[in-house]
Amino acid sequence: MPKTYDKPTFRQYDDPSAQWLKWKRQAAALEHSEIRRHAHVSIDNRHQCRNCFCCAAAEVLAERKEK
């Protein structure tokens, strides 16, 4: 029997840019080590998009390095 999953508990946005900004705010609220942990999923895989939390964390990490 296939496993079924409940609906996601996070809010889904109709506007992808609103979702991206939400992910960036969530990433920025994390401890630095947690931001790096999520960001390195994208960095290590050379993944750059605006559709996942890991890429949002990578952007937050890059913005912090610029300062």
Q: Break the chain into its structural domains and give their ranges.
A: 16-66
Residue 7, pLDDT score: 61
CB 23 within 8 A of CB 56: yes
Q: How sure is the predictor about 66, in pLDDT bands with cuts at 50, 70 and 90?
A: confident
Query: What pLDDT is recorded for position 34?
Result: 93
> What would the pLDDT profile of 4-53 be if each residue is shown by its tens digit?
656 655 666 778 888 889 899 999 999 999 999 999 999 999 999 988 99
In the chain, how long is the greatest CA-to-CA distance? 52
Report angle CA 56, 61, 64 to the nearest 5 degrees: 130
Q: Tokens 């705010």 sit at which residue? A: 25
Burial 21-55 (b: 16+ CB within 10 A, else e): eebbeebeeeeeeebeebbeebbeeeeeeeebbbb
